[in-house]
Structure 1
């Protein structure tokens, strides 16, 4: 489900690696919050679902979606679209919170599986340092504002670690893609691997001073070219003479398409063969020497060049499909009641 994947990706980006959204988000707003009012209208008793022995409340959902609401508001074109997307977000959050409960239950079925105490302690220490600047009194005040004890918090942290571990195990189980599957994907999606003409460019820029003439600039540039033709590396000459931002990298601008160049450079760069340097290009700001480190011509990229890229795409696809099947099984076998 694209919307749910987006929700999870955004929440991952907004929260520390060891923390669940409910843990890191600000406490749910007061009932005057229109989003909270919306949820309270949908769930009059404040309970949105029960998963196993866990009651999931309106406050839990508000804490989960809180970090996303400003972005949702900015992206919505009007109030109607905002309300529609808000309801989708709420439903996705409810399902995610239910799934977390079921995933933790699945982990605990195997009594041999335990999260080491040191993992929990380290996660709490990191959270204390990052969110509360090491101030334990602020940390305890935060727990009181949530109505939590330290024991509750430790359990929450442990369950966050379990959740991430179980998801990681699912992804790991789908990390091998057969060569045949890669080749099939390539054959069926060749248009995706079309590329334009590209040149791997190195550049030497000689900046014009107030007193320099075209003749003196050209003389300097031609002297550098003679040293290149005599066998010196263009990279070394760029480090020695170039005045542009890439000097320390030997004038390396990496792979560029025609559209990446200013008009004065485009034809010059794409007329070069691999290993060839241009004649000096004279412009008001200085003289430039272009060098083609390598060339790639327009067309479909060979399979060997895109194999790793295809493998990553397929691993992600397989991982999502596998995780959805896994979650569907947990949902079938678990106790879930929606309110």
Structure 2
């Protein structure tokens, strides 16, 4: 392959408002050209951040060159007949199915999903239950009796901290001083949660609290003991989640959780539709001719 990019044109206009036409030519190279629309589609497929790239002429030029080189490689592969290769065709079919699934997901789930989930913003003080000991320089699991003793110690510590809260000491100050987890640096603030995100004991305690209330008894869940305080209560929906949850990363995680739930419900509805026949129980492993699902006549 002996080609080079001849010119990268109109880079400054890429960053100008979206009123520019998708047919504008933004780069030319030996044997072809790239339009604005093609470049935007390419960035979307690659899951690249348009905003970040369009702010930097250097990044724009780099990505346009990468796109042109990919086109060169595809042309060479076609010339060699790789597009007729059976393995490539199978891979292309799988890739096409994946893209179709993503398009369906975006249309039926992300664009149409309606959710309204109760959520609480929680501060926590986490007391870890020690579950190991060191013997002869090696880490060993505790026996059931030893683990019970360590659990009782953690519960007692939590009770002492709750007593300090009863004396009007600030929850966030006590979290910074006593908590055994990452949230201590934020005064115990772990942001908004929905019930299914946490262990049942944790969620039951958190959602039973009113705003500003804290748990009067230690909450034992998983590998530790918690003291919880509810800072805020909201019903999160597609319309308000970005306004309420200021942390963009947390908002994205919550939305992904809601979308996943909507996806499961959508697939369940498809699988139980009246024209779907299920033969999974009758199928035999290793017999590819068996029909597992049949849709319609």
TM-score, normalised by the number of residues in structure 1? 0.40
Structure with the greater relative contact order (CA < 8 A, sep ≥ 6): 1 or 2? 1
> Of Structure 1 and Structure 2, which has the larger fraction of its residues in helix?
1
TM-score, L = length of structure 2: 0.44
Structure having the higher strand fraction is 2
